[in-house]
Structure 1
């Protein structure tokens, strides 16, 4: 049986509309998962074997105990509340989690960490983290830590990724470690040191569509299949 993977969509408050790029579902389907879209209502469905927290807009700074800077972008309170509660419940139940871009930041906040509201203002970075290039094109490098999930998946110390963000992980949440950083020191990937599979990346692997990026989804869906076997 295919592992069932729930994917959180973005939510347009003004239009009252959920939306999700097809690349997320395609990436999950390509490695044997069965993707379904999750809506911000009720508890985690019992049939879920894994959860992808997708990319999107900014997270409300009040949720990590900061006042909003003027550089902060549009927020979606409905999405924030749903994803944080979903993430915390999934962590308690050991449901595999994959956070992409904003999703990585949600995982970090759910575990008590913080994020930079705007890396251009709050760090000394001069790198371009919001690229003006096709979504599938890599525009900056990351340095991969040894003995991490990412190093095991890719077998290398350096790689190039795409980048579409102005926020980033600052103080790591409880139980998390970084598994990659960009050359300006910004955290680009995180993983949990104790839980079976909690992994986040700051880039968009679903958009790059390479075999290397596909191994991230394959490892996640494999973890979801193992979770399904345990809970049967």
Structure 2
């Protein structure tokens, strides 16, 4: 009997409370999909035992990490988390691990691949679309269009869907190897993937909080890809 794949999760960190934290929505979504979630902490060596990594949401990323000076609207940053997640992601990409990035996690993956982000969508793009909702977290507040031929379209078999939205930053240009696979009505990249990889996906919304069949399918396919990686990793 094959063991369940181990999924590493990067938690948020509070400097004020000197405390790591994680929403149970992430762990519950992975458990339901058949994975075994474990937390990854800064200062550790690369976790050779994991079969996939989930980069979670959280605060803003230090603009100096992607070659920019901070604008006034850039929010609270976590240097400890930035350094660890970027190095972790770069090494994971070299090893072809299945990767799933949510909100900030998508932005970390993009920066690790050489891409950039908008420090503040409204200021830097002039969009009038509301990306930071004032509605219950699980509730979908704007639609996205799925790009034809993408892995995401093949998974969902739809061209349009509504998602929740809890961010003020977004991908400005894609890193090496990434392709946009969903966009919002104002043209911003809402999801990105590496088509040549088994599973490397970043989404700007929070699927772990939505509890719909489409969002649960993202975690199921992520865990399935991690299972395939586990089989390769442990093969004699």
Aligned partners of 2:200 and 2:126: how far apart in 1? 29
- CA root-mean-square deviation: 0.7
* TM-fit CA distance, 1:180: 0.2
Aligned partners of 2:218 and 2:201: how far apart in 1? 9
Name the residue aligned to 2:55. 53
Secondary structure of the residue that 1:170 maps to in structure 2?
strand
Pairing 1:104–2:106 present = yes
Gaps of 5+ in 1: none
Map 1:206-217 → 2, pairs under 5 A = 206-217=208-219
Matched-pair contact (CA < 8 Å) for 2:7–2:53 = yes
Q: Which runs of 4+ in 1 moved over 2 A?
A: 193-196
Secondary structure of the residue that 1:127 maps to in structure 2?
coil
* TM-fit CA distance, 1:231: 1.0
Name the residue aligned to 2:75. 73
- What are the Cα deviations for residues 151-192 of structure 1, in whole angstroms up to 9, with x where unaligned? 011100000000000000011000110000000001000001
Secondary structure of the residue that 2:28 maps to in structure 1?
helix
Aligned partners of 2:208 and 2:179: how far apart in 1? 23
Aligned partners of 1:43 and 1:93: how far apart in 2? 14
TM-score, normalised on structure 1? 0.99
Map 1:125-140 → 2, pairs under 5 A = 125-140=127-142
Aligned partners of 1:221 and 1:195: how far apart in 2? 14
- What are the Cα deviations for residues 62-108 of structure 1, in whole angstroms up to 9, with x where unaligned? 00000000000000000000000000010000111000000000000
Aligned partners of 2:26 and 2:43: how far apart in 1? 21
* TM-fit CA distance, 1:193: 2.8
Matched-pair contact (CA < 8 Å) for 2:4–2:227 = yes
Name the residue aligned to 2:197. 195
Name the residue aligned to 2:32. 30
Report how many aligned residue pairs link the two structures. Answer: 232
TM-score, normalised on structure 2? 0.97
* TM-fit CA distance, 1:41: 1.8
* TM-fit CA distance, 1:212: 1.0
Q: Which of the residues 116, 126, 148 maps onto 2:150?
A: 148
Gaps of 5+ in 2: none
